[in-house]
Amino acid sequence: MFSLISINNFLSYKKYQFLNNKKYFVKFPKNKLDITIKEKLLVEQIKKYGYVIIPNFYNRDMCNKFIDQINKFMSNHPTLIKRDKLNSDNRIFGAEYISPLFKKSLKKMISFTKKIGRVYLRQDISLFMMMANRVIHKKNNIGSGGGWHKDSFSKQFKSILYLNDVNKTNGAFQIIKNSNNDLFMLKLINKLGKKFPVTRFSNNEVNKFVKNKNEQVVNLIGKAGTLILVDTSIIHRGSPLLNGKRFAITNYFYPKNKLKDYKGHFNPKLSKFINN
């Protein structure tokens, strides 16, 4: 049985979804979509599963160059790095400004993922920023992103590029299957007694509503150069590292007329090229 409070919270969630989708929805003319059959299939996979994994988007040599630039920037500009309490998750917000070469080399990824995200969301989106991070194994680390969370209660699109080989032990991106569908959300709100719009969940809370972790929790693993396209309204996290490290670049896309809402949201954030 669902409590009256849970049902009211769920209806608030659905109202938010409706108003948000209505506000940013764009009906693109078919002749302006400019998308191939292969790209359409990627969009359909995201609709069905919440994500798609594309191997070998960049080769390993190029990924190693990206890693070298990230390491160099972090060493030279420690005050421009966002770190967690354990100094495990180290982030560069606005990483497209690490260097002109860095930005130019990643242009292919941005234009491609923006096209996919635009069609998937049916919204006119822009890149708000790139985030490059280096996550290192530390005792009691909670992985990248601060644990289980949703980025939004309505559709949200990101792309993530792995720069080194990522597996279940060194920080794979994890999602909880179907955790953005209506039935799951109603059960979650009812089970946890949390009010909309809570977006973060502890491990204990996840254990309460995920009955079979082996089936419901998906590890998105991949070799260096793997590109992940994902709807981050699904509950997700960068898994805690048992060993090693993980390098990745995450691209944040928002509707064009929503970009101003995030001004000052990520600090410290680069806004111009800085000598690496």
Question: Global pTM?
Answer: 0.94
Rounded CA-CA distance 269/253 in Å is 16
Instruction: Report the chain (276 residues): mean pLDDT per 10 consecutive residues.
Output: 86 91 85 81 96 98 97 96 96 96 94 95 95 97 94 94 97 95 88 79 88 88 98 96 98 92 90 83
Rounded CA-CA distance 241/142 in Å is 8
Per-residue confidence (pLDDT) for residue 31, from 0 to 100: 61
> Domains (ranges, CATH) in the chain?
4-24+52-256 (2.60.120.620)
CA distances from 65 to 72, 164, 167 (A): 11, 11, 21
Burial class (CB in 10 A: 0-12, 13-18, 19+), 189: buried
Per-residue confidence (pLDDT) for residue 86, from 0 to 100: 96
Are the beta carbons of 262 and 127 closer than 8 angstroms? no
Per-residue confidence (pLDDT) for residue 238, from 0 to 100: 97
CA dihedral 186, 191, 192, 195 (to 10 degrees): 30
**CA nearest 202: which of 185, 210, 260?**
210
Rounded CA-CA distance 99/65 in Å is 12
Are the beta carbons of 4 and 235 closer than 8 angstroms? no
Are the beta carbons of 13 and 190 closer than 8 angstroms? no
- Which residues lie below 8 Å from residue 135, measured CB to CB, with a gap of 6+? 88, 89, 90, 141, 143, 144, 171, 238, 241, 245, 246, 247, 248
**CA nearest 155: which of 192, 118, 130, 187?**
118
- For β-strands 217-220 and 148-149, DSSP reports them as unpaired
Name residue, tokens 């060993």.
Answer: 243
